[in-house]
């Protein structure tokens, strides 16, 4: 084989080999223990609650208004809309979000969400985890997916007392980005272990946050108890920027949620 062809063949082999290491391969010991397929006529309130209004950027427009929610073709639809109907609500926009707070908690294992994110200026859909029964940022925050505007990438991040209060965000680095097909469905996942939090998009390993040796507190609270899941459409704020009302409504479709434990 000519040397040039041999080198090309070797490079291709290495690309395939290392690419396979980055792609998720389900463990033989992975066991599906919880799933939500949104195939019912109404939201299962034994699992989910609508997220109430709050004062932060992410929840300042949250509403229980029916038009922000739908179950359509076996998918949960969460919308961000202009408020032209609820005259008693002074918010300019209304958004829909659900969470499993105080109903379903997720411990060590793999959580997957398949969804389609649609885009608009000021749209900020997210899937994330917070410590069940703990005052924020106790238990830590795990952002499985955050999408801004019309980006073709998503952010995957962890937060804690270590990163927020102590402002240690680069030892180790506390976030990563990953490409997505912004016009179709993608599968977002996170795995919680005793020593790391590992993120995936479409079964490709995208980012990991490890437990490290440090004398600073709360560097890795993510294995200390269960987390509850939040799925929400958000609009506007200091990070995503201003909303363009003419581009609303905007919605995301969530096909399913699955949780696996590793035995």
- What pLDDT digit, counting tens, does each position of 90-101 carry? 999 999 999 999
Helices (H), 49-159: none
User: What is the pLDDT confidence band of residue 29, given thresholds at 50, 70 and 90?
Assistant: confident
pLDDT tens readout for residues 46-100:
999 999 999 999 999 999 999 999 999 999 999 999 999 999 999 999 999 999 9
Determine the pLDDT at residue 33: 98
* pTM strictly above 0.75: yes
**Would you say residue 5 has pLDDT above 90?**
no
> 3-class SS at 247?
helix
Neighbours of 170 (CB within 10 A): 9
pLDDT tens readout for residues 221-238:
999 999 999 999 999 999
171 CB contacts (<8 Å, ≥6 apart)?
A: 212, 214
User: What is the pLDDT confidence band of residue 7, given thresholds at 50, 70 and 90?
Assistant: low
**Would you say residue 160 has pLDDT above 80?**
yes
Q: For residues 22 and 49, what is the distance between their CA atoms, to the nearest angstrom?
A: 35
**Would you say residue 19 has pLDDT above 50?**
no
Which tokens hold the place of 100? Answer: 């499993």
Rg (CA), the chain: 20
| Percentage of residues of the chain with pLDDT beyond 70 | 89
Quickly list DSSP for 90-106: --SEEE-EEE-TTT--B
**Would you say residue 179 has pLDDT above 70?**
yes
Q: What are the distances in angstroms from CA 55 to CA 97, 126, 218, 225, 257?
A: 15, 17, 26, 27, 28
Determine the pLDDT at residue 10: 47
Q: For residues 145 and 124, what is the distance between their CA atoms, to the nearest angstrom?
A: 10
Assign a CATH topology to domain 30-262: Jelly Rolls (2.60.120)
Average pLDDT of span 179-186? 96
Domains of the chain by residue range: 30-262
**Would you say residue 3 has pLDDT above 80?**
no
Neighbours of 24 (CB within 10 A): 17
User: What is the pLDDT confidence band of residue 217, given thresholds at 50, 70 and 90?
Assistant: very high
């Amino acid at each position: 084989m000519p040397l040039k062809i041999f080198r090309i063949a070797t490079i291709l082999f290495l690309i395939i080999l290392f690419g396979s290491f980055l792609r998720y391969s389900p463990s033989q010991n992975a066991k599906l223990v919880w799933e939500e397929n949104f195939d019912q006529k109404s939201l299962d309130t034994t699992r989910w609650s609508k997220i109430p209004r709050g004062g932060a950027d992410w929840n300042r427009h949250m509403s229980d208004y029916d038009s922000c929610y739908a179950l359509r073709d076996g998918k949960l639809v969460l919308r961000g809309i202009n408020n032209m109907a609820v005259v008693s609500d002074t918010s300019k926009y209304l958004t829909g979000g659900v969470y499993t707070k105080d109903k379903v908690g997720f411990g060590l294992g793999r959580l997957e969400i398949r969804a389609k994110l649609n885009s608009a200026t000021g749209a900020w859909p997210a899937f994330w985890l917070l410590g069940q029964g703990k005052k924020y940022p106790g238990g830590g925050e795990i952002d499985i997916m955050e999408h801004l505007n019309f980006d073709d990438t998503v952010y995957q991040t962890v937060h804690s007392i270590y990163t927020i209060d102590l402002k240690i965000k680069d030892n180790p680095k506390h976030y990563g980005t990953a490409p997505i097909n912004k016009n179709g469905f993608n599968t977002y996942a996170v795995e919680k272990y005793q020593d790391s939090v590992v993120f995936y998009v479409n079964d490709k390993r995208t980012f990991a946050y490890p437990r490290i040796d440090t004398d600073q507190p709360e560097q890795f609270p993510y294995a200390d108890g269960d987390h509850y899941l939040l799925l929400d459409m958000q609009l506007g704020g200091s990070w995503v920027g201003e909303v363009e009302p003419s581009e609303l409504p905007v919605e995301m479709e969530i096909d399913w949620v699955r949780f696996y434990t590793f035995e």
